[in-house]
Structure 1
Amino acid sequence: MPRAFVNPPELHPTPGFSHVAISQGDTLVTFAGQTALDRDFGLIGPDDLKAQTRAAMENLSVAMAAAGVSWDDIVKRTIFTLYPEEFAAIAEVIDEVTGGAANPPQTIVGVTGLALPGLLIEIEAVAVLHGAAPKPGEL
């Protein structure tokens, strides 16, 4: 059982996330918040929340690949955004990027600003890696 999600019937429905993740693995992998910045530090999708969400998720996907995990290994996701009320649009893009993988527990936090002007969203995640953790320099 790499991970199982539980949604107690006593709690509200979970649109785009789960209430509880139970995971089993050898190594916890923590990912820094990813934003809509390209590798040259250029802003992707100015004033476009969906484009920025896609870029942040794609950047997170690159970090995940470097750690050897997939969307099926994610056990927690946190979203920081200037527009938390646009959750449906954010969730739509997340589902597209993750290929419909089961949604882990998630927190969405409304913020008044992010690290750089123009950023609308930042997404961080935690995964469980199954098997031995890579040694420094092996990645």
Structure 2
Amino acid sequence: MSNDNKPQAFNPPGVHEPPPSYKHVCITPILPTSKFITLAGQTGDYKASWIEQVKGAYENVKKCLEAAGASPRDIVHVRHYIVNDSGDADLNKEHVVERGWAPLWIEFMDQHGNGHKPPDTVLGVASLALKGLLYEVEVWAIVHG
């Protein structure tokens, strides 16, 4: 483990190897000057395609974190909400974890989070707040001031 104050994600021995989009455990030091940042679920434009919704959600995560004085490198937990019935028969044949969001998340975290892969949870859901929304992502982050 690194001695810096950033979240350190890892996979413990004896636990199955997860997909490359996340690690099982994340340890983050808490200091008196630490700030715990929670974002509301972020989405893309509900009128956009599936992939554009995912990309838009990640761009909104970046903007929100920056506004709070953080970056994707400071994320300590992620929740991905994916609507089960996308309205696309071919996409619906795929499990929600295999619908193409994960490679985009990995690319996003490689580009903006120095390759950090915080723990995540993936949920298939019946619907989101607006008809047409197919993907939402929620993140928690910690920064030290």
What residue in structure 2 maps to residue 111 of structure 1? 125
Q: Which moves more between the two structures, 105-114 or 81-90?
A: 81-90
Q: Counterparts of 1:23-34 in structure 2 under 5 Å?
A: 23-25=28-30, 26-34=34-42
Query: Shift in Å at residue 9 of structure 1?
Result: 2.5
What residue in structure 2 maps to residue 134 of structure 1? none
TM-score by length of 2: 0.79
Q: 2:97 aligns with which of 38, 63, 87?
A: 87
Q: Counterparts of 1:11-26 in structure 2 under 5 Å?
A: 11-15=15-19, 16-25=21-30, 26=34
Off by >4 Å, runs of 4+ in structure 1: none
Percent identity over the alignment? 34
Q: 2:8 aligns with which of 4, 7, 19?
A: 4
Counterpart-to-counterpart distance in 2, 1:29 and 1:49? 27
User: Which runs of no fewer than 5 residues in structure 1 stay unpaired?
Assistant: 38-42, 132-139
- Contact 2:82–2:96 (8 Å) recurs in 1: no
Counterpart-to-counterpart distance in 2, 1:80 and 1:68? 25
The RMSD of aligned alpha carbons is 1.6
Query: Shift in Å at residue 44 of structure 1?
Result: 4.6
The residue matched to 2:17 in structure 1 has which SS? Answer: coil
Query: Shift in Å at residue 117 of structure 1?
Result: 0.3
Query: Shift in Å at residue 8 of structure 1?
Result: 1.4
Paired residues, number: 124
CA deviation map 1:49-104 (0-9, x unaligned): 22111011111111011001111100100011114824241111112223162110
Counterpart-to-counterpart distance in 1, 2:44 and 2:62? 13
Counterpart-to-counterpart distance in 1, 2:61 and 2:47? 14
Partner AA of 2:108 in structure 1: V
